[in-house]
Amino acid sequence: MDLKGKKTLVLGAGKSGVAAARFLAKHGAIVALHDKKPLDDWSEDAKALKQDYKIGLIDGQIPSWLLDQIDLVIISPGVPTNSIPARYVDRKGGEVIGEIELAYRFLKGKIIGITGTNGKTTTTTLIGEILKHAGLKVQVAGNIGLPLIEVVETADDDTWNVVELSSFQLETIKFFHPNIAIVLNVTPNHLDRYNFFSDYAAAKHRIFMNQTGEDIAILNVDNEVTASWVHGLKARVVLFSTKRELQEGFFLRDGAIFFRDGVRERLITTRDRILLKGLHNVENILAAVAATTFCGVDIEVVREVLSQFAGVEHRLEFVTSINGVRFYNDSKATSVDATLKAIEALSGEKGKIILILGGRGKNAPYKPLIPSIERFVRALVLIGEEADRIESELKGHAQIFKATSMRDAVEKAFQAAQHGDLVLLSPACSSFDMFESFEHRGKVFKEAVLTLKQELSSGLL
């Protein structure tokens, strides 16, 4: 792809957009970066592009005369593909792609692509750790927080690029081609962006569209949507399951993980040697083991990493205990299904759960939480824009408190808890009503918990 002199518009001045704009300018493109937010609200990295790379910065509305000149649009994941600038350039014959597709056209090495409604970051991180411990050259990027375009120049032909992919990123691929593609699960999510659940599922399915018979497609056969994709893919399909034995694939049986190739069966490891909590994390492990097995990693390396891997920040992360009450940060749970999995993962612990829910909703129902709430949850503490709607759907199934801030939520949760209970932040919503990101939300939660502990120990409360 020749970028020299190409007139390019980057839509969205977040991490992905800033990284794409910088890469384009360094490779000779004429670049304008746009965001609807006022320029004063842009990050310092974004604002610095004007001086450092002579990139034009545009906030608010984009003038039509500029759109007439654009050859290429790079659209950030948070910007809908049907936005007027993208449609305008597409209809006049320009190209509209995302940062993932741009990076792919310059990226060397092999690619493992991971998507799904839940578990992407844990699986992506775990695959990276296994490959690293096997002595392979590996880079982990994508939706995990590091734009793929930022690792293009450090990749070579021997590199394994492990890429977390959201449905938004997959919407804008054209030629992106993972050697190993994983879909962990597909459950209702982002229904504030997609008109139908089937549209969201179709975006996930795009991860397979450029694969060939030489590639691997790894699917969760326990998930209704991904199980329906087993037939019709060009790649070799590899299945995993926590619910049943497979004639071929990776599965859980009697607390142990096995691989069967149709003839032979091999023990991978046992659940008591794994640090991660919850059956959903066994699914993530099965997918990671499948991927790294087909990368040629020795099973002893896999076992060693699984025995040491404690998960990633903001995913069922233990924070601390205060007077016999344990606090867990699961801020990454931005869907109802993710929250259900978090409750299930902690349901075997002693005590009841005090669940902190809420944020910016995604037009998904909360009623699927009711059976788990009735069994395992003592009280709900609701925050954010969605608090009233959550209350209307879950009222009568647990005691409900409303909080005005994260600090208030932590204090109300602690007050509602009994000795031995767990306070779980697992919001089932996005964070953008009160916080910059789920990471920011989780950080504020942890700070509030640790502040409460300090104040109690010093007698301030």
Helix (H, G, I), strand (E, B) or coil at 70: coil
CATH code assigned at 223 = 3.40.1190.10
Phi, psi angles (nearest 5°) of residue 210: -110, 10
Task: Say which residues have a Cβ less than 8 Å from residue 222's Cβ, sequence separation at least 6.
Answer: 241, 242, 243, 244, 283
Q: Which CA distances in Å does 357 have to 118, 126, 385? A: 17, 27, 11
pLDDT given at position 156 = 98
Domain stop point among 280, 308, 336: 308
pLDDT given at position 192 = 86
Do 122 and 170 have their domain in common?
yes
Do 86 and 154 have their domain in common?
no
Do 156 and 83 have their domain in common?
no
pLDDT given at position 263 = 86
CA-to-CA distance for 90 and 84, rounded, in angstroms? 10
Do 325 and 408 have their domain in common?
yes
pLDDT given at position 336 = 95
5-60 pLDDT, tens digit each? 999 999 999 999 999 999 999 999 999 999 999 999 999 999 999 999 999 999 99
Asked whether residue 120 is domain-assigned, the answer is yes
Do 359 and 324 have their domain in common?
yes
Asked whether residue 263 is domain-assigned, the answer is yes
Domain stop point among 308, 333, 360: 308
Cβ proximity of 301 and 133 under 8 Å: yes
CATH code assigned at 393 = 3.90.190.20
Do 347 and 426 have their domain in common?
yes
Q: Supply the pTM of this predicted model.
A: 0.88
The β-bridge partners of 357 are: 382
Asked whether residue 2 is domain-assigned, the answer is no
Do 344 and 286 have their domain in common?
no
Cβ proximity of 362 and 190 under 8 Å: yes
pLDDT given at position 188 = 87
Asked whether residue 29 is domain-assigned, the answer is yes
Asked whether residue 1 is domain-assigned, the answer is no
Q: Which domain holds residue 111?
A: 107-308
Cβ proximity of 158 and 152 under 8 Å: no
Q: Give the torsion sign (CA, 231, 237, 242, 248).
A: positive
pLDDT given at position 197 = 94
pLDDT given at position 461 = 66
Side-chain-side CA neighbours of 65 within 13 Å: the count stands at: 0
CATH code assigned at 75 = 3.40.50.720
Domains in the chain, number: 3
pLDDT given at position 277 = 87
Asked whether residue 423 is domain-assigned, the answer is yes
CB atoms within 10 A of CB 19: 23
CA-to-CA distance for 336 and 102, rounded, in angstroms? 32
Do 124 and 170 have their domain in common?
yes
Tokens 């690792």 found at: 151
Helix (H, G, I), strand (E, B) or coil at 129: helix
Do 395 and 296 have their domain in common?
no
Do 117 and 172 have their domain in common?
yes
Do 132 and 281 have their domain in common?
yes
The stretches of 36-136 forming alpha helices (DSSP H) are: 44-53, 64-67, 84-91, 99-104, 120-133
pLDDT given at position 191 = 82
Do 302 and 331 have their domain in common?
no
Domain stop point among 100, 130, 157: 100
Asked whether residue 234 is domain-assigned, the answer is yes
| pLDDT tens over the chain, length 461 residues | 899 999 999 999 999 999 999 999 999 999 999 999 999 999 999 999 999 999 999 999 999 899 999 999 999 998 999 999 999 999 999 999 999 999 999 999 999 999 999 999 999 999 999 999 999 999 999 999 899 999 999 999 999 999 999 999 999 999 999 999 999 999 988 888 898 999 999 999 999 999 999 999 999 999 999 999 999 999 999 999 999 999 999 999 999 999 999 889 999 999 999 989 899 999 999 999 999 999 999 999 999 999 999 888 898 999 999 999 999 999 999 999 999 999 999 998 889 999 999 999 999 999 999 999 999 999 999 999 999 999 999 999 999 999 999 999 999 999 999 999 999 999 999 999 999 899 999 999 999 999 999 999 987 76
Asked whether residue 166 is domain-assigned, the answer is yes
